[in-house]
A = this chain, B = another copy of it.
Amino acid sequence: MSKANLFYAQSGGVTAVINASACGVIETARQHRDKIGKVYAGLNGIVGALNEDLIDTGKESTATIAALRSTPAGAFGSCRYKLRSYSENRREYERLMEVFRTHNIRYFLYNGGGDSQDTANKISQFSQQQGFPIACIGIPKTVDNDLPITDNCPGFGSVAKYVAVSIREAGLDVASMCESSTKVFVMEVMGRHAGWIAGSAGLSTEQDGDAPHIILLPEIPFDKQKFLKKVSGCVKRYGYCAIVVSEGAQYKNGKFLADAGGKDAFGHVQLGGVAPFLANMIKDSLGYKYHWAVADYLQRSARHIASRTDVEQAYAVGKAAVDFALQGKDAVMPTIIRGKGKKYTWRIGEAKLADVANVEKMMPRNYITPDGFHITEKARAYFAPLIQGEDYPAYKNGIPQYARLKKILEKKKLQKWKAA
């Protein structure tokens, strides 16, 4: 299998460090020119393979590839596109095989979350059935931290650091203003199904009274009366109340808080997210002046405040994926294994894609305080190492200088793909 080519693609929502994984893949592959020929990256993820839009990363300079390590978002383009099963859409699998065969691609590295690991697994199976076996290696990535087996997911540590730093800073702001103005601040963070991101904001609380005072998680059904009582208690005790809410916060019946409002004057579903919804609820019931923020993409693209641990792990799983491929492995994903000692250590492990695909890991109940409004010491011990260290990008003119790729496409040899 000498000089086979490698195909790498980014999938799903991007992170501050997914390009660090790309950097790990490409730099490692370049060290094995005897075994790996070209390293292609899919333009906009797997869609790039279907369209035969193969970025030749060999055309990018060493410096540009190195700069990927400190560049947020998906430098080659990502996509929200899930391959269906063979029975539903065999044509797509056949097209992928055609593209891979035509361009002598024998390594497929897919950088994404649970859905993507499922896709990689299916492609592995299909390629074997077709007699053109491709080493399919998953590379974990998700801000949601919800992949099983791996101790944590690259991408999560940086968003955790962002939310912990942001609520610490905004909390000081509210504390400054609360005597005569704003008394409540609500910050909405990502996490539609699991509360990992919102929970990590709890690291900001180092002493009694530190923000956030309340964390609302999808794992704990929202109880309006209990919540309002807690808010007024915080205002009485600390002078203000800083709240972090997961976008996935929900009622006992599974309905999202953010969906609970009505329509606006134009008949649209309520525009705001859960943060303005809660802020208004507090204003109506308790009368406190409020401010709210919705971090949205800012939180997952905030490379300027990335966790060094996260960057290192993201790079390491990219590197490991290439190593696995060269070792002849298939249908596996590198994982992060946490060492047992008191001092945080980690090493790379390995999981089968079949075991990773489509499984969501929720935050354990014992990570959450009995009242449901904050995190426990056990959670702190889990979260704390993941946000350790800073890894600042290079600045020019006061602005971070992120990699600008040429994205030169390989010459196409096939007919244009027509999606069904």
Chain A contact residues, CB within 8 Å of chain B: 10, 13-14, 16, 44-45, 47, 71-75, 77-81, 161, 164-166, 168-170, 172-177, 179-181, 185, 187, 203-204, 206-207, 261-266, 268, 270-273, 275-277, 279-280, 284, 291-298, 300-305, 307, 384, 387-390, 392, 395, 397-400, 402, 404
Contacts and interface: CB of A to CB of B under 8 A. Distances in A.
Shortest Cβ-Cβ A-B pairs, 10 listed:
A262-B265, A74-B176, A387-B398, A73-B172, A272-B272, A293-B296, A271-B276, A44-B179, A271-B272, A169-B301
A99 to B, nearest CB: 17
A30 to B, nearest CB: 23
A189 to B, nearest CB: 11
27 contacts: A44-B179, A71-B172, A73-B176, A74-B176, A78-B176, A79-B179, A79-B180, A79-B181, A161-B398, A164-B399, A166-B298, A166-B302, A168-B400, A169-B304, A172-B402, A173-B301, A185-B297, A261-B266, A262-B266, A271-B271, A271-B280, A291-B297, A293-B298, A295-B298, A298-B298, A387-B399, A389-B398
A170 B263 CA distance: 28
A239 B213 CA distance: 41
A273 B294 CA distance: 10
Given A13-B177, A293-B297, 4 more contacts: A168-B400, A268-B284, A295-B298, A387-B399
A140 B182 CA distance: 22
A308 B167 CA distance: 22
Nearest to A160: B398
A257 B400 CA distance: 32
A78 B177 contact: yes
